[in-house]
Amino acid sequence: MSICDWRGVISRLVLVARTGYVVSMETIVTPRSVRRGPVRRHDARVRRFSRDYALLERLDSLAVDDVEACSLIEEVCWGSGVEVPKLRFHSRRSMYTGATEQPRSIWVALHGEVDVDRHERVTGKRLPPFGAIRLGRTATLMTIAHELGHHLVFALELPHTPAHGKVWIGRFDDAADTVAGFVGA
């Protein structure tokens, strides 16, 4: 069981202990308002090509904790028909930043199986089979959608697709629409 699974179980147990009622077996996602984040370096491109930039701005002023982020990420991945990436959270990472790691299959397509195996032997770490997303313990909904956009590009597009190109902006918008629908933003 991943940390998200255990935290979800614990949060549900705490909810049941406090109220005496089992509300749902899903984590209830209730974003809280935060100040809008700083201008990102890709802001001009996203503003120009996004289908709904106003939605992205709204999502940038709402934040969730790591357990709620897990639920949102799972929802978007299941809805898009892709595997859920490994999720990593760190308390020192800003709520406005994240990082997405490519799945092992993309590394193999770009560099070859031999080089990837050698890298894994030298570092002593296996590359995540479905990729990974790193976020802070608290993350804005826009940051989550941004990183999910990368994950969707890695899972659904060709290996050489540009990291912050028009295809990514389309996937970013898709993820943002799903996140907004899930939380009612």
Identify the pLDDT of residue 84: 95
pLDDT in tens, 30-60: 888 898 888 888 899 999 999 999 999 999 9
CA contacts within 13 A on the Cβ side of 7:
14
Q: Whole-angstrom Cα distance, residue 108 to residue 112? A: 5
Identify the pLDDT of residue 163: 86
Mean of pLDDT over the chain: 86
Better-scored residue on pLDDT, 28 or 174 = 174
Query: Would you list the domain boundaries of the chain?
Result: 33-183
pLDDT in tens, 96-130: 999 999 999 999 999 999 999 999 999 999 999 99
pLDDT in tens, 66-106: 999 999 999 999 999 999 999 999 989 999 999 999 999 99
